[in-house]
Amino acid sequence: MKIVLATHNKNKRKELQLLLNSLGLQILTLDDFPEIGEIPEDGKTLEENAKFKAMTVNRLTGLPAIADDTGLEVDALNGRPGVYSARYAGVSCSYKDNVSKLLLEMQGVPYDKRTARFRTIVAFTDGSTELITEGCVEGHITENLKGFGGFGYDPVFYISVYDQTFAEMTENEKGKISHRGNAIRKMKQLLQREFSIFTDSKISTPNKENA
């Protein structure tokens, strides 16, 4: 069975592929469909954005699609940047721009007030069935960048239990505890449970050993 990851973000794509590989699916990405440009993320919630991206890619390709949207919610900033996390510093801003703005706004905030969480919503649709899952991880915002891995806000998102930021972890370590990892694992369970939805699909169904 083929499934399309509805993202152009190479970092997200890599994480999603690693987490979905065990399902035995043929995983495609938007790189396989260059005619599909950037999909707007102008919804008011993470769920709206994830569902819209999945539905758009399913409609344009005719294939089942999975999309996600992620937000960093900082308590001292009343939940910002939230749904605007990817463009917090403006349209077409870089990861560095977003992190710089966040650290500037957090100057002078003591550690115990620097609590935050990453939330990811993952949406799946094959055109008739929709599935939604959510993953969340709690942490703190550091005062300085730490680590060289990951992407986005990873260098400033600190997990006290591990005494590391996401950027200091390996890909496997991060995947085991991250918001996106949690949401994808839940989605994998739903896909396995609801796998009969593909029985009558035009798309080839994998054998039971690969399901």
Query: Torsion-angle region of residue 147: left (phi > 0), alpha (psi -120 to 50) or beta?
Result: left
Nearest to 138 by CA among 114, 116, 154: 116
Dihedral angle of Cα 131, 72, 100, 11, to the nearest 10 degrees: -30
Do the Cβ atoms of 194 and 131 come closer than 8 Å?
yes
Active site residue 69: yes
Q: Which of 68, 69, 126, 154 is an active site residue? A: 69
Residue of 64, 49, 104 whose CA lies nearest to 205: 64
Angle at 17 between CA 204 and CA 87, to 5 degrees: 120
Active site residues: 69
